[in-house]
Chains A and B, each alone.
Chain A
Amino acid sequence: MDDFNFDPNLPPDENIKIFFEHLKTLDKKMARILENKVKKLIPLPDSGPRRNSIRLSVNSEILQLLEPEGRKGDGIEK
């Protein structure tokens, strides 16, 4: 995979945008999911337990988007 670099002349928000554009060239669907969900973690909470709980909830949403049909009956779907 190609190296990704930030543009020092762009503000951070713009750089974040072009980073996700770069990811979209690799996998559009996953890049969109990541872009939308990572925003939910910002600003990062200071406390470790709070971070864990937000991460768990975001990962659960990601799984739902990756497997919208769900996996029923095997007892391991999240």
Chain B
Amino acid sequence: MIRYFLKQVEIEGFRGINNEDDPLIVKFKSDSINSIFAPNAQGKSSIYEAICYAISGNIPKLKDLLSSERAEEYYCNRFNSTGTAKILLTLTPDDGSNDITILVKRDKHGKKNVASPSGYNKPEELLENLNNELCFIDQKTFIKFVEDSPLERGRTFSSLLGLDILSQYRQALEMLSNTRSLNSDFSIEQLRSKINEIRTILDTSVQNIEILFNKITNTTVPIPFNIEVIINNTTSILKEINLLKQCFREKDVLSVNYNSIKKIVRDAENSNMHEQLLEVIKKITELSSLAPQKDDEQYQNDLNALVEIRDNAFKVTQGPLFKALYETLLNILQSEEWTYSKRCPACNSDLDYDFESEVGKQLKEYDEVASTTIKIIEFWNSNVWINRIKNLFQLRNLKFDNKQKAVFQNIENHFRSGDLSESDLKLFFILFEEIEAIRKKTLSTLEEKKGNIEKKLPPSLVNLTDKITYANQIKENINKYLELQPEINSLQNSLDKRLKWQKFVEYACNSFAEAEVKLSTQKTLDLEKKYQMIYSEITKNVDVVPKLKKSEGTQNLYLNLENFYGLKDVAATALLAESYKNALAISIYLSSVLDNILPSNFIILDDVTSSFDAGCQFNLMELLKTKIARPINPNGPQVIILSHDGLLQKYFDRISNETQWFHQTIQGLPPTGSIFTQAQDPCRLKSSVENLLNAGKIQQAVPYIRQYLEFKLLEIIRKVSIKVPLDFSIRDDKKMVKNCLDTITESIELEKKAGTLILEEPQTNILKNTLISSIIANWVSHYSTGIISSFSPYVLLGVLNDIDSIADCFKYDCHCLSNTQTVRRYYKTLSSKHCNC
């Protein structure tokens, strides 16, 4: 995997950085720790946000704003006349290939445009690869991590472990395997219902075929059920009847012309009696096929049970009004406008639990009601018993009174809407009995009528008429069977495929989720030693040992303490001070950085030590320098630290001469004017002052002259190892110009009296008689009293030279450091040199 260092960022017109036509250029070194200092409101966080926006496409601070606060208007600098923000990143790949530049622009309408001036093929894809939670770490990240719910913390942690993409895949698989969604998206219930509906009709046809086959052939249908055999056997029997032989020549029961058969029979009988008989037999067959079946009682019990389950499930809920309320709340909570997870949108109350989960739980109680209601509706649409009742009710030869019709209509409506009640059912069962009584009575009347007709006809003709009627009816049922069989096969095939998919994605989702939990648990354990070591290095407190605890089978993550001054397994969030909680959070983040190999080989820390005490701050910096960051850890990240902390600035200044540390400051006039960086080298402050004085900006230059003087005096004390009073060494407020000068002059006097002073006579003289007195007289005293307005830039440039001359009094010519030139080198002490030069 190619990993990338951040080499440079150029920013114009973004957030607090105006820099119109003069972009702010910040350089970073891949083999150094990079620190950037700026006082508050100097554009430091704008640098952080610019890199964050370029890579991730958003700024968390703005993303969290309400839509009414119009966050989109605050990305571009409001004072830049173009209204367009430009961020140019320069990335250095670790495989030695050429640097890549990516230009991210955002116009005033919020449109983001990504291009690569260096010609990289897929700049957007590269930015996407670089985007991860370990790149950008600020104070808010820690506070959120500490204060989040165990579930949210667990999710963040999962992302820190590099498991974020796995978590996304798991959620995506959950979406695709969700039973309710699949039922709806794949029309599974609809398909099932359609199959049941057709199967009911098909079953009735088969049943009719069996009865009619028996009546025509006096035998039962051969097993297995084979429609070809049924057609052949029926045709054979009918063909044997002399009168019909001619009609069945090369025809079967399906293709024979029944009108010509009827004509033949009519001619033979010479009356229309047989037609009346045909009609009566047809009605009898119809009514007989709708007789009660042995499963009817079971169906009635099933229906009773369904209504009871639905009613019981409904009692647990708070009714339809609350359902509507919960659905509306869920819509709001899932909308982009609502960004609070622990606030009720109805009353704006802050809650101590995730509100969306709670609303989801309440809505789930309605699921049982919904699913049973669907089953009741399906029961009406596809149950064999119900269908038979419906068919009976539609028969013209059955006579129902208006009350029965009204009851049927009412119950049908309740069935269709799923509102069927227990009292509806009682009425329905009574109606069913009444219908059955009418059916029986009608059937009996028809049988009587049939008997009367048959008495008037010769028995052979009666038998023939029966057979012809049955043949015609078996033909209709066989045709229906042949028409529906392929249809139901096709539907069943389709349903099987969808159900197979459902089972497959459910398995995929479950096995993925289980594997993710196992991996996450293992990684948490692997990380333990690392974050415990980092925490111990930052706090230097061996009596407090943190330990992350993961709930088995869930994503919940708890911040615990394995040891707290002898107490075991206690809650870190309840016991640790703010500074220590943040130390714990940064320990976890840094250990994750060390544990992950990501395309972005850099981390940007924005004011992460704000809540740390001075000790923890320095411990953290030392830890970064000696164990975590490049170059000491060649596999570690390129660290970029942004800070406004005055104490850290002194630390940065002191350490910046070391090759492994690259320090810069931000200066300028944000958000209206320009800001710029000044690389921190021994001449940084001096060149800043010279630039300001050359531009006539005396007021701006004066504080820097004071800072430069302080810097150089402290440098002399440090480099020449001048002994200082105890309070000077431990109290930062004592490290002022006057104290520095006093310490230096007193030390010189002491060495001189001891006869051990190494400084040359001219150096001592010029220092004592000219430079120090000149500095005090011309600068320090005036600066202290605030009378500086009378100084010209030339005088102040002279002060700068005097400051350098003071430092030069503590140096000697060294010839051994370089073969080609003489180097001015600080004495080792006031009584010795580093070499014999």
Contact for A38 among B169, B181, B187, B518, CB less than 8 A: B169
Q: Are B176 and A55 in contact (CB under 8 A)?
A: yes
Count how many chain B residues have C-beta atoms less than 8 Å from C-beta atoms of the other chain: 50
Q: Is B835 part of the binding interface, using a Cβ–Cβ cutoff of 8 Å? A: no
A16-B166, A27-B504, A51-B175 as given contacts; A67 in contact with B497, CB under 8 Å: yes
Q: Are B514 and A3 in contact (CB under 8 A)?
A: yes
Q: Which residues of B contact A38 (CB under 8 A)?
A: 169, 172-173, 176
CA distance A50 to B494 in the complex (A): 28
Report A9 CB to chain B, min CB distance, Å.
11
Q: Which residues of B contact A56 (CB under 8 A)?
A: 185
A8-B523, A12-B162, A78-B187 as given contacts; A67 in contact with B494, CB under 8 Å: yes
Which residues 24-52 of A sit at the B interface, judged by CB distance below 8 A?
26-27, 30, 34, 37-38, 41-44, 46-52
Q: Are B185 and A60 in contact (CB under 8 A)?
A: yes
Q: Is B490 part of the binding interface, using a Cβ–Cβ cutoff of 8 Å? A: yes
Q: Are B522 and A8 in contact (CB under 8 A)?
A: yes
Q: Are B171 and A44 in contact (CB under 8 A)?
A: yes
A11-B1, A78-B187 as given contacts; A55 in contact with B175, CB under 8 Å: yes
CA distance A46 to B334 in the complex (A): 8
Spot the interface stretch: B200-208, B381-389, B505-513. Answer: B505-513
Q: Is B147 part of the binding interface, using a Cβ–Cβ cutoff of 8 Å? A: no
Which residues 125-184 of B sit at the A interface, judged by CB distance below 8 A?
162-166, 168-169, 171-173, 175-176, 181-182
Q: Is B757 part of the binding interface, using a Cβ–Cβ cutoff of 8 Å? A: no
Q: Are A11 and B162 in contact (CB under 8 A)?
A: yes
Q: Is B401 part of the binding interface, using a Cβ–Cβ cutoff of 8 Å? A: no
Q: Is B301 part of the binding interface, using a Cβ–Cβ cutoff of 8 Å? A: no
Q: Are A6 and B519 in contact (CB under 8 A)?
A: yes
Q: Which residues of B contact A27 (CB under 8 A)?
A: 504
Q: Which residues of B contact A19 (CB under 8 A)?
A: 511-512, 515
Q: Is the interface of B mostly helix, strand, loop or mixed?
A: helix
Q: Are A63 and B523 in contact (CB under 8 A)?
A: no
CA distance A74 to B333 in the complex (A): 38
Q: Is B501 part of the binding interface, using a Cβ–Cβ cutoff of 8 Å? A: yes
Q: Which residues of B contact A1 (CB under 8 A)?
A: 507, 511
Q: Is B194 part of the binding interface, using a Cβ–Cβ cutoff of 8 Å? A: yes
Most buried by A among B182, B185, B490: B185
Q: Which residues of A contact B466 (CB under 8 A)?
A: none
Q: Are A30 and B172 in contact (CB under 8 A)?
A: no
Q: Are B501 and A62 in contact (CB under 8 A)?
A: yes
Q: Is B491 part of the binding interface, using a Cβ–Cβ cutoff of 8 Å? A: yes
Q: Mark B512-535, 1 if CB is under 8 A from A, else 0.
A: 101110110011001000000000
CA distance A27 to B172 in the complex (A): 20
Contact for A47 among B162, B163, B334, B526, CB less than 8 A: B334
The chain B residue with its CB closest to the CB of A43 is B168
Q: Mark A58-78, 1 if CB is under 8 A from B, else 0.
A: 111011001100010010111
Report A20 CB to chain B, min CB distance, Å.
9
Q: Is B190 part of the binding interface, using a Cβ–Cβ cutoff of 8 Å? A: yes
Contact for A37 among B176, B498, B519, B597, CB less than 8 A: B176
Q: Are B497 and A41 in contact (CB under 8 A)?
A: no
Q: Which residues of A contact B497 (CB under 8 A)?
A: 66-67
Report A43 CB to chain B, min CB distance, Å.
6
Q: Is B336 part of the binding interface, using a Cβ–Cβ cutoff of 8 Å? A: yes
Contact for A76 among B166, B187, B508, CB less than 8 A: B187
A48-B334, A62-B501, A78-B186 as given contacts; A4 in contact with B165, CB under 8 Å: no
The chain B residue with its CB closest to the CB of A37 is B176
CA distance A56 to B187 in the complex (A): 12
A3-B514, A56-B185, A74-B194 as given contacts; A66 in contact with B501, CB under 8 Å: yes
CA distance A12 to B597 in the complex (A): 11
Q: Are B186 and A23 in contact (CB under 8 A)?
A: no
Q: Which residues of B contact A59 (CB under 8 A)?
A: 176, 181-182, 185-186
Report A65 CB to chain B, min CB distance, Å.
10
Contact for A30 among B335, B491, B501, CB less than 8 A: B501
Q: Which residues of A contact B334 (CB under 8 A)?
A: 47-49
Report B629 CB to chain A, min CB distance, Å.
22
CA distance A4 to B637 in the complex (A): 33
Q: Are A49 and B335 in contact (CB under 8 A)?
A: yes
Q: Mark B715-745, 1 if CB is under 8 A from A, else 0.
A: 0000000000000000000000000000000
Which residues 177-236 of B sit at the A interface, judged by CB distance below 8 A?
181-182, 185-187, 190-191, 194
Q: Which residues of B contact A71 (CB under 8 A)?
A: 490-491, 494
Report B496 CB to chain A, min CB distance, Å.
11
Q: Are B182 and A6 in contact (CB under 8 A)?
A: no
CA distance A5 to B200 in the complex (A): 46
Q: Are B182 and A66 in contact (CB under 8 A)?
A: no
Which residues 462-503 of B sit at the A interface, judged by CB distance below 8 A?
487, 490-491, 494, 497-498, 500-501
A6-B515, A78-B187 as given contacts; A26 in contact with B504, CB under 8 Å: yes
**A5-B519, A15-B166, A38-B176 are known contacts; what are 18 more A-B pairs with Cβ within 8 Å?**
A6-B518, A8-B519, A8-B523, A19-B515, A22-B511, A23-B508, A26-B504, A30-B501, A30-B504, A34-B176, A37-B176, A41-B176, A46-B336, A56-B185, A63-B186, A66-B501, A76-B187, A76-B191
Query: What residues of chain A have their CB less than 8 Å away from a CB belonging to chain B?
Result: 1, 3-6, 8, 11-13, 15-16, 19, 22-23, 26-27, 30, 34, 37-38, 41-44, 46-52, 55-56, 58-60, 62-63, 66-67, 71, 74, 76-78
Q: List 27 A-B contacts (CB under 8 A).
A: A5-B518, A5-B519, A6-B519, A8-B519, A11-B1, A11-B162, A15-B519, A23-B508, A27-B504, A30-B501, A30-B504, A41-B172, A41-B175, A41-B176, A42-B165, A47-B334, A47-B336, A50-B336, A58-B176, A59-B181, A62-B176, A66-B501, A74-B194, A74-B491, A76-B190, A76-B194, A78-B185
**A-B CB proximity, top 8 nearest:** A48-B334, A59-B185, A41-B172, A6-B519, A4-B511, A12-B165, A76-B187, A47-B336
